[in-house]
Amino acid sequence: MTALSIIELYVFVLAAFVGYQVITRVPPLLHTPLMSATNAISGISLVGSLVAAGSDHGQVSTILGFIAVVAATINVVGGFLITDRMLKMFKKRGGGDGGSGVEQKPPELPRKKD
Amino acid sequence: MGDREWSRSHPSYPVRKTSASWNSESVIGLVLPTPHPPLPRMREYFIQAAYLTASVLFILGLKSLTRPEKAQRGMQQAALGMLVAIAGTLVHHDIVRYDWIIGGLILGSLIGYPLGMFVPMTAMPQRIAISHMFGALAATLVGVAEYWQHSHGNGVGSAEGTAAISQGKMAALGFEVLFGALTVTGSFMAFGKLQEILPGRPITYRGQNVINLALFAATLGIFVYLIFNPGNAVLFYTMIALAFVIGILLVIPIGGADMPVVISLLNSYAGLASAATGFAIGNNVLIIAGALDGASGFVLSIIMSKAMNRSFGNILFGAFGSVVTSTARSVTGLTARSISAEDAAMQLGYAQSVIVVPGYGMAVAQAQHQVRELAELIEKKGGEVKYAIHPVAGRMPGHMNVLLAEANVPYDRLYDMDDINPEFERADVALVIGANDVVNPAARMDPGSPIYGMPILNVDSAKNIIVLKRSMNPGFAGIENELFYNAKTSMLFGDAKASLAALVGEVRNL
């Protein structure tokens, strides 16, 4: 094992640890946005795809790279857009958005007729 | 292999003389390639700065998801990080032509935009599943391209080229294509089931587990062999083919109700494939992003399996609900009490405290807007409405939350299982909409039941229970639900959306 891959292993383990610590704190409320967010972030394989598609190491490599670029871009563009769309929907009661039909203050008189 | 000769004889093919070019050029990672003059070195610094920025923004973005009010801003920053990483990569010295790159970026954006903007929230599970497929596909193809370059590229013949792959690199490549390939087909199968192209019930046959395990062992054997003999291209491609098959076989025996776990697991695999790509091409931002994704999928899978009281192994190999040789207590002789919308509306309209328990049935009927409308009416009449969300309600983690948020239900009324369970006994009415297993008391009381031990919502301790259900058919898992025969329970039969619309009308007229 080279020194380089040892460092890479460090990076991986520490990143996974940070990920674990952060993600265990994400409330179940946001689990679906979390999935789409990590999906969008893992679209970072676009970075590898770009090099494969543009490095001119032969036609096979270019075409595989091209398809990879398409697939990863779908995830990046679609993933971030849909996460944003979802997160926009999560609103608190009376959270400043008018016209949502949600009443702004809790009802005061708890009358019970029966 | 005619194409290899083509590539070598093709006039435009750049013949790289230095054998070191492979190692140094593929390192976009920590160590800067030395043989370059100052300008390329500046470029390298720029790329590394871009990747570091992106990594930090990704972590901050995920951290923002711990606070709903900060989340949107945080994820926008993460998107900016992605942009920075892409911009950094585009100046990479290995990239000599941009035609395919630009074409790919445009085509990907054209497909990605509608997938991001127009897919309805109800289709979110299959949308997430298919995006796992795209992510894994990209990782797999990069891995294959990488291997192919070794065996065909650089003007080096197959044997010498691939023999030059170090064991560490081959291990990384192997992980990359293994996880990648099985996630591609696995996610596609999950997508098919969720989109109902494929039957949602588990598909099982005799000896299924034996076949799966044998295939798995064979693939693993090839992988280990390849680490020591990277030159065997045939075996490399065989391994990928086997991984594709394993992905299919892994998902077909899994039923719809287990989908939350499967989707989380595939999420994790897709992340690991990305991380392995990072190892293979020596790119730290890939390793970091992949590790984050892998950790996220892993955490979610654990949460989901805990919420079902089942182990990974049990879900992957158990084929839940395939054989209904239920030893569970029979409910014959018990009768369920049906209720009219009018009477149900009376109960709801005059209740002080109502807890809504949504399930997959609400998603299928797309009834979330009617639920919100009903809740608003009850509130107008002075009642209080809360929502009880079981972690595995629906088909993916957080499914119910997203649907209700889409219908403008404020998120501070959505309660997790542990928070809401003590409140059921104070609730006047628990309104169960298309949920079944997650409210089945057998999980608490009947050791013979297949779902025994699974944490459930304590709906049965509410003062009154109204269950909206299509018919008395047992749910997906084929398990009878005693809750429906409880003396406090009234059944309102029919399509959830229609029933809710009727309830809204009745409550309004009270």
**Beta-carbon contacts of residue B224 (< 8 Å; ≥ 6 apart):** none
| Residue B241 neighbours by CB distance under 10 Å | 11
pLDDT band, residue A80 (cuts 50/70/90): very high
B138 near A CB under 8 A: yes
Query: What per-residue confidence (pLDDT) applies to B326?
Result: 44
Q: For residue B464, is pLDDT > 60?
A: yes
Mean of pLDDT values over B12-24 = 42
Mean of pLDDT values over A82-107 = 65
CA B286: distance to chain centroid? Answer: 19
Query: Do B111 and A70 lie within an 8 Å CB cutoff?
Result: yes
Query: What per-residue confidence (pLDDT) applies to B23?
Result: 44
CA pair distance A33, B398, nearest whole angstrom: 8
Q: For residue B74, is pLDDT > 50?
A: yes
Query: Do A37 and B65 lie within an 8 Å CB cutoff?
Result: yes
For residue A55, list chain B residues with Cβ-Cβ distance below 8 A: 94-96
For the question of residue B437 being annotated catalytic, the response is: yes
Residue B122 near residue A30 (C-beta atoms within 8 A): no
Query: Could you tell me the pTM of the whole model?
Result: 0.84
For residue B71, list chain A residues with Cβ-Cβ distance below 8 A: 30, 33, 87, 90
Residue B351 near residue B499 (C-beta atoms within 8 A): no
Query: Do A49 and B141 lie within an 8 Å CB cutoff?
Result: yes
Query: What per-residue confidence (pLDDT) applies to B223?
Result: 95
Nearest to B235 by CA among B179, B173, B186: B173
A10 near B CB under 8 A: no
From chain A residues 90-109, the ones with a CB under 8 A of any chain B CB are: 90-95, 100-103, 107, 109
Catalytic residue among B258, B293, B437, B446: B437
Query: Do B115 and A89 lie within an 8 Å CB cutoff?
Result: no
Residue bearing tokens 């090099």: A51
Query: What per-residue confidence (pLDDT) applies to B419?
Result: 93
Which of the two residues, B204 and B502, has the higher pLDDT score? B502
ipTM value: 0.83
Q: For residue B17, is pLDDT > 50?
A: no
pLDDT band, residue B11 (cuts 50/70/90): very low
For residue A11, list chain B residues with Cβ-Cβ distance below 8 A: 284, 287-288, 291
Query: What per-residue confidence (pLDDT) applies to B316?
Result: 63
Query: What per-residue confidence (pLDDT) applies to B214?
Result: 92
For residue B288, list chain A residues with Cβ-Cβ distance below 8 A: 11-12, 15
Q: Tokens for B367, please give them.
A: 């009834």
For residue A69, list chain B residues with Cβ-Cβ distance below 8 A: 100-101, 104-105, 108, 138
Query: What per-residue confidence (pLDDT) applies to B160?
Result: 58
Query: Do B100 and A78 lie within an 8 Å CB cutoff?
Result: no
Q: Give buried/exposed letters for A40-58 (b at 16+ CB in 10 A, else e).
A: bbbbbbbbbbbbbbbbbbb
Closest CB to B68 among A22, A30, A82:
A30
How does pLDDT run across B109-151, given as a tens digit for each residue?
999 999 999 999 889 999 999 999 999 999 999 999 999 888 7
Mean of pLDDT values over B385-401 = 92
Query: What per-residue confidence (pLDDT) applies to A34?
Result: 95
Which of the two residues, B35 and B58, has the higher pLDDT score? B58
In three-state secondary structure terms, B279 is: helix
Percent of chain B whose predicted confidence (pLDDT) is above 90? 56
Q: Which homologous superfamily is B341-508 in?
A: TPP-binding domain (3.40.50.1220)
pLDDT band, residue A103 (cuts 50/70/90): very low
- Which secondary-structure segment (H or E) carries B441? none
pLDDT band, residue B372 (cuts 50/70/90): very high
Query: What per-residue confidence (pLDDT) applies to B38?
Result: 67
Which of the two residues, B222 and B95, has the higher pLDDT score? B222
From chain B residues 20-79, the ones with a CB under 8 A of any chain A CB are: 27-31, 51, 54-55, 58-59, 61-63, 65-66, 68-69, 71-72, 75-76, 78-79
What's phi and psi for B331, nearest 5 deg? -110, 15
Query: Do A36 and B128 lie within an 8 Å CB cutoff?
Result: yes
CA pair distance B71, B85, nearest whole angstrom: 21
For residue A104, list chain B residues with Cβ-Cβ distance below 8 A: none
Nearest to B296 by CA among B257, B260, B256, B269: B269
How does pLDDT run across B398-439, given as a tens digit for each residue?
999 999 999 999 999 999 999 999 999 999 999 999 888 899
Query: Do A68 and B141 lie within an 8 Å CB cutoff?
Result: yes
pLDDT band, residue B352 (cuts 50/70/90): very high
Smallest CA–CA distance from B152 into chain A, residue: A58
Mean of pLDDT values over B463-490 = 81
